[in-house]
Structure 1
C-alpha cells in the first residue's frame, strides 16, 4: 500500500513539475507556446538557392537572428515553380511556412482566397513610404497590405556604341521614339547578299515582349484596367501590326535561324555583338560584365510610341508574404520589416546587383558603384517612374490564355491585328468572372 501511495505521489509531483515548466516557457504574441530555447522559430521559404544568391539571403537571415533574442529564422530552399504549389498545399493543410517569397503580380488572388495574412495590423502608416508607389499598390487588397515588396525589375534599351559609330550614328544619342528605332535599326543592319551578319534591332528579342510593346503604345494601359477591358484598342492594334512588320522585313527564315542559334542561352546576341540594340532588365548587365568582353555600350529608356510620349516600360518582382495559418504572424511581420528596411535591402542590391523595392536602399546602393555598373543601375532606378506592373486581374485570372493565341496568329501572318484583338477581347469576356 505504501509503495502505491509513494508511486502516486511521485507521478503527481512529475505532472506538477511539468505544468510549472510549461508555464515558465511562456506564450508568444500569437498565443502559441514559444519554441525550445525561449525563442520563436520562424520558417522562411525562398527559391534563392543558387551559389550567388543563397549565401546572400542566409547572411541577411543570420544578421536578423543576431539583431534580437526573441526569434530565430530558419531558411528552407524550395525550387522555383515548386514553391508556389507547395505554399498553397501547406496553407490548405494548415501547416504553412511563416514567411514565403512569392510573385508580386498575384498577391490579390491569394488575399481574396484567404491564403495570406492581412498585415495592416502589424505595419504602421509609414511602411508604404519605404517603397516605390507602383510596387506598394500591387500588394494591396481592399486597401490593406497582404505582403511587402522585396525586389523588382524594369526593361531598358541596351545599345552598342561601337556599332553606332560604324553606322554613322551618335553613340550618345539613342533612339527615343519607335520611328527613330526603325531608322536606327536599318542603319545598323549589316547584310551580305541575303545573309544578315548583324541585325540592328528586333523587338521580340530580349525581355520586352509583344504585350509590353502594346502597352507602351497605349499610354501604359494594361489589357485589363480594373474592371475595364482594354484589349481591342487602336493603339494596341497598331503596335501588333508594327511588330509583325519587323518580322516581315527581316524575313521569317532569318528570325527562325537566329532564334535557333541563340536558343540555348549560352551566348547572347547582344553580348556577341550580333544585335546592335536589345531590350532587357537592368540585371542583364551582369551577363555583359561576366562575358569577358570589353563591350562599349549604353542604356536608355524604352523608346516612346510617339514624339512627346512616355517611355513606358514593364516590370515584375517578388514579395515577402505571411501565409494564412502561420503560427507566428506578428513575428513574421517583424522579420519582413527587417528584410525590407534600408540595411538589408542595400546589402541585397549590392551583392546581387538587383533592383530592390526600398527607395532609399536603391539610391544608396547606386552611390557606391562606378563605371558601367553605376550607369545601368542608376538608369534602372530612374526608369521605375515609367514602369508598369501587370497584376493578374481577379475577375479574369487566365485572360492571357485568350490573348496569346491571337498575338501568335498575327505574328504568323494568319490574321490582321484589328481582327485578332477583337476576337481576343470577345474571348476574354466569355471567361466566367470570379
Structure 2
C-alpha cells in the first residue's frame, strides 16, 4: 500500500514538473522599423511571420516610427541601456553609430555568399572605416517620375535628360494650361530636402566635404541650391513643396496634380495601383537628370540597413533574424516597394514582372548613387543644411549666405 502511494506521488510530481516546463525556451527580440517609404508595415510583418514560423523559439516584437523619429528613438533607447535588439538605420548614420558604439561590428558574420552576391554599392550602406555594422536591406535612390498622359498632351515626346530641360518642359506644361505647378518636391525642413539637394549636388559635380571641412557652399553645392530656388520662384514647382515630405509628393502625383516628381522606388507601384491612384498606368520613371557637360544622370544614396545593437542580450538570434530579412529569397518575394540588394535578383522574372521600366531605370541610377557626407557629426550638418535650404527657398537669405551660414553651423 505504501509503495503504491509513493509511486503515485512520484508520478504526480513528475507530471507537475513536465507541465511546469515550457515546450521550448522562447527568445523575444525587439525590432525598430520605419513607417514610410520602401517596405510597407504589412510587408515587414509578413516577413517577420515567415521568420517566426521557421524559428518558433524566437518571438519578434515590431515597432514602427516615421523616418523622422528613427534616429532619436534608437539613440534614446541605447542611452537607457536597452530597448531594441535590431534597428533599421540610414546610410548616413554608421559613422555616428560606430563612434558611439550603438551597433555591433558584424564584419566577421558576413558569409562568402553575402560578400559575392550582394551588389557592391549596397555594402556602402553599412560600412564605416573598413568595418560593417549590419546588413544592407533597403537599396534605394530617388528617381524622376512623370505623368505620361500630361507629357503627351503637352506635345513632349520623352522625359527630360537634364535639369534645365525639366524646367523647360514644366514651363511648357504650365503655359498650355495643363497644370499650374507641374513639379512636386519634398523640401520640408527635414532629411527629405537633403536627399533632393544631394541629388542635385551629384548632378552639378559638387562636394559636401573636403579634408573634413564643408565644401558645399561653393561650386556644385551652390549651383544645386540656386537651381532649387530658381525652380521654386519660377512658379513651375508646387509652392507647398517647402512643406512636403515624400508621402505628400506621392499623394500629389497620384492625384494627377503633378507632371513630375522626385521620389523613392516605392512610389512606382503605389502610383500604379488602380485602387488608390488616379494615374495608374500613366506612370513613367527614369533616372534623375544630369547637367549638360557635367553629368548624364544624378542619384542620392538613400539606402538603409539592419543592425544589431550593442545592448542586445540576444545578438545571435538578432543576427539570424537580420540574415532572414535580408536574404535573397525574402527580398525577391517583396520586390514591389523596395528593390533587392542581390545582383542575381535583377534577372529573376518574378522580380522584374510589371516593373520592367523601373528596373531599367534602377540599373543606371543605382550605379550612380552619390553619398551624403560621412561624418559622426552628420546630424548637426544636416540640421544646418536643412535650415539653410529653407531660408533660401523662403527668400529669407540668398543661397550664398544660406550655405555659408550652414557651413559655419555644421559643427565641422
The normalised TM-score by structure 1 is 0.75
Find out whether 1:271 has 2:272 as its counterpart: no
**1:421 paired to 2:400:** no
Alignment-derived partner of residue 359 in structure 1? 343
Aligned to 1:109: 96
- What aligned pairs does 1:29-428 form with structure 2 within 5 A after superposition? 37-39=23-25, 41-47=27-33, 53-67=40-54, 71-80=57-66, 84-170=71-157, 173-190=158-175, 197-201=179-183, 211-219=197-205, 221-224=206-209, 227-250=212-235, 255-256=238-239, 265=248, 268-285=251-268, 286-289=270-273, 290-307=276-293, 309-350=295-336, 353-361=337-345, 363-364=347-348, 367-370=351-354, 373-390=355-372, 393-428=375-410
Distance in 2 between residues matched to 1:293 and 1:346, nearest whole Å:
26
Q: Any conservation in 2 of the 1:190–1:199 contact (CA below 8 Å)?
A: no
Deviates more, 1:356-365 or 1:117-126: 356-365
What runs of 5+ residues in structure 1 fail to find an aligned partner? 1-13, 22-34
| Structure 2 residue runs without a partner (length 5+) | 1-12
Deviations 1:289-346 (A, max 9, x none): 2315455232111110224613111242332111113223233223322221111111
Contact 1:42 1:97 in 2 (8 A): no
Give the equivalent residue in structure 2 for 1:4. none
Taking the aligned partners of 1:249 and 1:101, their CA distance within structure 2 comes to 38
Distance 1:271 1:44, change over 3 A: same
CA offset at residue 148 of structure 1? 0.8
Cα contact 1:46–1:78 (8 A) shared by 2: yes
Q: What SS does the corresponding residue of 1:398 show, helix, strand or coil?
A: helix
What's the secondary structure of 2:252's corresponding residue?
A: coil
Partners of 1:368 and 1:87 in 2: how far apart?
34
Displacement after TM superposition at 1:395 (Å): 4.1
Greater shift, 406-415 or 335-344, is seen at: 406-415
Deviation track 1:192-233 (CA, whole Å, cap 9, x = no partner) reads 6xxx844343666797765235413432x5523672422122
Measure the CA separation in 2 of the matches of 1:261 and 1:336: 32
Q: 1:298 to 1:143 in 2, by over 3 A?
A: same
Shift of 1:416: 3.2
Tell me how far 1:376 sits from its aligned partner: 2.5
Judge conservation of contact 2:256–2:278 (CA < 8 Å) in 1. Answer: no
Instruction: Return the offset for 1:389.
Output: 3.6
> 1:91 Cα shift?
3.5
SS in 2 for 1:388: coil
CA RMSD of aligned residues (A): 3.8
Distance 1:310 1:263 in 2: 24
Shift of 1:277: 2.0
Q: Distance in 2 between matches of 1:211 and 1:258?
A: 13
Render the CA deviation track for 1:113-140: whole Å, top value 9, x for unaligned: 1222111232235533343333312312
Shift of 1:263: 11
Residue aligned with 1:74, SS: strand
Task: Provide the C-alpha distance between the structure 1 equivalents of 2:211 and 2:111, rounded to a whole number of angstroms.
Answer: 27
Contact 1:158–1:279 (Cα < 8 Å) also in 2: yes
